[in-house]
Amino acid sequence: MNTIDAVITWVDGSDPNYKIKYNYHSGQMRNFKEQYLQDNEIVFCVSSILKYAPFVRKIFIVTDNQVPNFKKIERIIPKNKIKIIDHKEIFEGLEDHLPTFNIRSIDAVLHRIKGLSEKYIYFNDDMFLIKETKINDWFSEDKAVLTGNWVKSYNIQVSKRISQAFKKRPSFNAAQSKAANIAGFNEKYFKSYHSGRPQIKSIIQDFYTKHPDILIAQIKHKFRSTQQHIPYSLCWHLIIKQDMYKASSKKTLLEIEKVKNLNKRTLETILLNLDKNEDVKFLNVQDLNYLSKESRLIFNDWISKKLDI
């Protein structure tokens, strides 16, 4: 049987010590980003893996000198199932680049987690499973199952390149296009969305070992930069290049974006439709902490029942 682990990156931005460190290195004492705040996402993410991906051997949670509060679900967590991985462990030998507040730098060294399985699934903490998944939803016949679709590279979309030059926040899609370029895809890239991402450790490990300059150029940024690629996307394109993938339709995923203005009635309708939809297994709610208090209670109640917690 294949051994498959899960890796989750997580930060508690409400931690006073984290805020102080962030502000010191960013020089933005009054501009702490609300996106770093959390609202139990990690509890929901872990619970969803435990219930809907029971084949996962171990869940590694990568964080910066923090420990999530799992008191609510400690009764359902098997012994030794979860392991906390500090940034210092995966940046061993690369400590000059710590601390980092950049998910794209952290992603580049996830493969260095000690004891990590060859095949693993990478989650952000706002990605939830809401229906049972099986191994072949992630890896089928030794091929990674990638949820996404092919789109034109930024190389051949002049308007995209121009708009990216004026954006303050480095683009998610542009960084995927850059990852594809590194792997040798110059006219198109396989666009991913916000759901769990199958990874093959040896493929990305071998690449960064052979190209240490690319790794260092990636992790030297403490904050997101337009010069960076997305490491898991690079892994995907290297997997594709070796014909070790199967494409999966996005119909299995629902992304809920721009939640700040999501009213109670709209949210209730979305969740009701989710219960009726047999295709959707993966749910992403971006910036859950931006929901109104009333809407947050509705979502928390819905997903808690869904996960039996």
Structure tokens at 11: 């930060």
pTM here is 0.93
Check whether 30 has a pLDDT greater than 50: no
Return the pLDDT at 249: 87
Integer-rounded Cα Rg, in Å, for the chain is 19
Range of the domain at 273: 4-307
Beta carbons within 10 angstroms of residue 165's beta carbon: 8
* pLDDT digit string, tens, across residues 174-195: 999 999 999 999 999 999 999 9
Longest distance between any two alpha carbons in the chain, whole Å: 54
Q: Which residues pair with residue 62 across a beta bridge?
A: 9, 85
What gap in Å lies between CA 100 and CA 87, rounded to an integer?
Answer: 9
Return the pLDDT at 34: 52
Contact call for residues 3 and 56 (beta carbons, < 8 A): no
Q: At what angle do helices 158-166 and 172-183 cross, to 10 degrees?
A: 120
Number of structural domains (the chain) is: 1
What gap in Å lies between CA 58 and CA 252, rounded to an integer?
Answer: 24
What gap in Å lies between CA 228 and CA 238, rounded to an integer?
Answer: 17
User: Where residue 68 sits, what CATH number does that domain have?
Assistant: 3.90.550
* pLDDT digit string, tens, across residues 204-224: 999 999 999 999 999 999 999
What gap in Å lies between CA 208 and CA 257, rounded to an integer?
Answer: 33
Return the pLDDT at 136: 95
Contact call for residues 245 and 239 (beta carbons, < 8 A): yes
* Distance of alpha carbon 147 from the chain centroid: 13
Return the pLDDT at 138: 98
* pLDDT digit string, tens, across residues 82-107: 999 999 999 999 999 999 999 999 99
What gap in Å lies between CA 304 and CA 253, rounded to an integer?
Answer: 19
What gap in Å lies between CA 23 and CA 43, rounded to an integer?
Answer: 27
Distances (CA, A) of 295 to 235, 259, 262, 274, 299: 37, 9, 8, 16, 6
